[in-house]
Amino acid sequence: MSTDSPTPRHIPVMLERCLDALAPAISAPGAVVVDATLGLGGHSEALLTRFPEVRLVAVDRDPQALKLSGERLARFGDRATLVHAVYDEIPRVLDELGIPAVQGVLFDLGVSSMQLDEADRGFAYAQDAPLDMRMDQTRGISAAEVLNTYSHGDLARILKVYGEERFAGKIASAVLREREKEPFSTSARLVELVRNAIPAATRRTGGNPAKRTFQALRIEVNGELEVLDRAIPGALDALAVGGRIVVMSYQSLEDRLVKQYLQAGATSTAPPGLPVIPEELQPWLKLLTRGAELATEEEIEENRRAAPVRLRVAERIRETRR
């Protein structure tokens, strides 16, 4: 990593593993790699440095991230194309750039370091901040609007499904009571509400009790699972034969979705008992990780944000009808 980077404190998660996983697919001249979650540009910078002939297409929905990473990657000139887009728009972005297929795609899901570190974004429950949580603050509704306008049923649903929160109903009831007194606007009040709504025995284990509620609100505000559900098939479709996809997930809902798509592509669709399996029914992906890989203890010690990561890698092994 460049020592003169504008964001030297930023440590990309599982960087060496990502580079090694993509290397066989993107080392040849003319290779194109997509960084689907540009963030502060740590992975992109390393890709452009390690593979001097690769062309990078990087997308991010956060204008601030694009600005900072644009400064970081400026020295690479036209080898790097940065686009303001959500990662389910990758097929459109590539089409507009005239790129029919790519050799690598990298997803580093979840919240970027910049979004966590900037208090006024409202992603972190450890500090009081406006309840925003939008990755792109130019569009969509904020977390405060969700808390202040959603029905009890809708709030309980997103807390249970997106946050896997056992006490979703109790928390939703407390939110409705409290917003009658005063609308929610900052995170500290929500953290306190969640703490009080959860039984004391549960509060003593598992870290900050507001963690699951914040995760649920962030996923809802940014439509993360719906976007991912479109993004993974779109990215796989863009891969050339021999191309590789690397996905890092940070919570079980994301990882489950990624696993389903990768396993489906790596599984024959032929009925049992066929003596010869036609090519169109054979797997078109090859899984390159056994299950999901975890960060090493050494990496977690150096970068605590690597602790929950689940990494999966797959390679496209044949064409399919598009």
DSSP 240: E
pLDDT number for residue 240? 97
Tokens of 67: 């600005």
Q: How confident is the model over 165-210, as pLDDT tens digits? A: 999 999 999 999 999 999 999 999 999 999 999 988 777 766 788 8
For tokens 């699972």, the residue is: 225
Query: CATH 3.40.50.150 residue ranges in the chain?
Result: 15-114+224-316
Q: Where is 230: in which H helix or E strand?
A: helix 224-238
Q: What is the DSSP string of 80-116?
A: EEEEE--GGGHHHHHHHTT---EEEEEEE-S--HHHH
Q: How confident is the model over 165-175, as pLDDT tens digits? A: 999 999 999 99
Confidence category of residue 5, pLDDT binned at 50, 70, 90: very low
Query: CATH 1.10.150.170 residue ranges in the chain?
Result: 118-222
Residue 7: pLDDT over 50: no
Comparing 204 with 238, the larger pLDDT belongs to 238
Segment 86-111 shows an average pLDDT of 95
Segment 14-35 shows an average pLDDT of 96
Length reported for the chain: 322
Segment 11-38 shows an average pLDDT of 95
What is the CATH code for 15-114+224-316?
A: 3.40.50.150
Q: How confident is the model over 123-148, as pLDDT tens digits? A: 566 678 889 988 888 888 999 999 99
Comparing 305 with 149, the larger pLDDT belongs to 149
pLDDT number for residue 208? 82
Distance of CA 129 to the CA centre of its chain: 23
Residue type, 266: A
Q: Would you give the end-to-end CA distance of the chain in angstroms?
A: 38
Tokens of 200: 């004391």
Mark the binding-site residues, compressed into ranges.
41-43, 60, 87, 108, 115
Mark the binding-site residues for S-adenosyl-L-methionine, compressed into ranges.
41-43, 60, 87, 108, 115
**pLDDT averaged over the chain?**
89
Topology (CATH level 3) of domain 118-222: DNA polymerase; domain 1 (1.10.150)
pLDDT number for residue 200? 83
DSSP 223: T
The partner residues of 195 in beta bridges, in order of sequence, read: none
* Beta strands across the sheet bearing 310-316: 80-84, 55-60, 32-35, 102-108, 239-249, 310-316, 285-287
Residue type, 243: G
CA-nearest of 267, 268, 310 to 287 is: 267
DSSP 60: E
